[in-house]
Amino acid sequence: MTVSGDHKLIILQQEGGRFLPAIGFNKKGIFMNLHMVNSNEEGKYTRNKNSVHMMRLFDEVLSEKVKTSVLPTYLQEKAIVNVPDYSVQSLIVAPDKKSFIVEPGRKYIGTDQLEDDFMVLTNFSVRDAMEHDDETLQGPGSDRYLVAYDELQNSRGHFSVEKGLTILKQTVQREGDYPTQLSMIYSPEDESVYFSLNADFNRLYKFSFSDMRITTVSGFERDFGLLVKKKGILLSELEGWN
């Protein structure tokens, strides 16, 4: 976990010896993630003046070089592509309660295209599922998608940090090649990110933009706190708190 200036929190994941962005928040309430998804020919990396790769989009959205208010136009005018050797998609959430699913090589999805006022994203193409009108969702993460979707539908009007953590607990992966390492929920109202490590929801941490510190919330024998700097902190360091 690292910070950029006083307004961005970035979660990076180690891949092939490098740390690459996976999740980002900014102080104003903008969220963006990068999820693995099956590739398609149209979304493969190309280099031309109209192409924008996902890592660049990640930086420009969180830095607000591209305002979320103009994202619909931007996503229509630009060809969003992957970086070489990776295929990812993203959920972008704006503070005005507008959300977008961006999948390289596929048409973006905005909340104005949906009946629901929320979005769920796991590791299959939501756009493909919409266009094929799949009655039974299939693909990586479809089981978790359905659980989250149903829970969010039933939580309208009374959603909270606690409810969000409950849903995350119901959708963790405990087996397979990608067990859940980090479960997070952002509360823009108090400018704080609440999170648990390794599906252990008995121990809750908090990162606050007000002081750029990670502190313990519950489940620890004593209180801990740490200032997050540009150099960052490994999640394994936080696991040592008890």
pLDDT-derived band at 12 (thresholds 50, 70, 90) equals: very high
CA dihedral 58→59→63→68, nearest 10 degrees, is -30
- How many distinct structural domains can be found in the chain? 1
Contact (Cβ atoms closer than 8 angstroms) between residue 75 and residue 100: yes
Helix (H, G, I), strand (E, B) or coil at 219: coil
What residue numbers bound the domain in which 63 lies? 2-239
Sign of the CA dihedral 147, 151, 154, 157?
negative
Take residue 187 and report the two structure tokens written for it.
């509360």
Q: Read off the tokens for 95.
A: 């503070």
The pTM of this model reads 0.92
Is the pLDDT reported for residue 120 higher than 90?
yes
pLDDT tens digit sequence for 125-142: 988 888 876 566 778 889
157: left (phi over 0), alpha (psi -120 to 50) or beta: left
Measured in residues, the chain has a length of 242
Comparing C-alpha atoms, which of 160, 208, 191 is closest to residue 28? 191
pLDDT at 30 over 80: yes
pLDDT band at 17 (very low <50, low <70, confident <90, very high): confident
What pLDDT score does 136 carry?
A: 66
Q: Find the CATH number of the domain harbouring 96.
A: 3.60.60.10
221 pLDDT higher than 70:
yes
Q: Which has the higher per-residue pLDDT, 144 or 178?
A: 144
